[in-house]
Amino acid sequence: EIVLTQSPGTLSLSPGERATLSCRASQSVSSNFLAWYQQKPGQAPRLLIYDTSSRATGIPDRFSGSGSGPDFTLTISRLEPEDFAVYYCQQYGSSLWTFGQGTKVEIK
């Protein structure tokens, strides 16, 4: 089973700043089957990015994904007030799906 480790655990930033979130896999992720989700308190997760870098329907272009092999990054170019939330990465491999433990982006 591939383990995903996200860093940092918490990111304290101000609106307008750039956010860079990391997701590292314990082994190479097959075919870059990696996604990012956003979750706000009391809400279901929302898909942001899939296939490492493809934005899901309706996701603004300030969200971008990159990476390969074991290292992946979610970048939010300029934080909007509604972007403060918890972000999870997720991978698929060998008929198993795993999530990272999450990164909380909080207002500084």
Partner 1 sequence: QVQLVESGGGVVQPGGSLRLSCAPSGFSEFTFSRYGMHWVRQAPGKGLEWVAFIGYDGSKKYYADSVKGRFTISRDNSKNTLYLQMNSLRVEDTAVYYCAKELAMGYYCDYWGQGTLVTVSS
- Least separation in angstroms between residue 42's CB and partner 1 is 9
Tokens for 19, please give them.
């956010």
For partner 1, the closer CB: 79 or 89: 89
- Least separation in angstroms between residue 74's CB and partner 1 is 14
Using left for φ > 0, alpha for ψ between -120 and 50, and beta otherwise, residue 83 falls in: alpha
Give the one residue of 2, 13, 22, 33 binding partner 1; rule: CB under 8 A: 33
| CB atoms inside a 10 Å sphere around CB 92 | 16
Per DSSP bridges, beta strands 19-25 and 4-7 are antiparallel
The residue ranges that bind partner 1 (CB under 8 A) are 1, 33, 35, 37, 39, 43-47, 50-51, 56-57, 88, 90, 92, 95-102
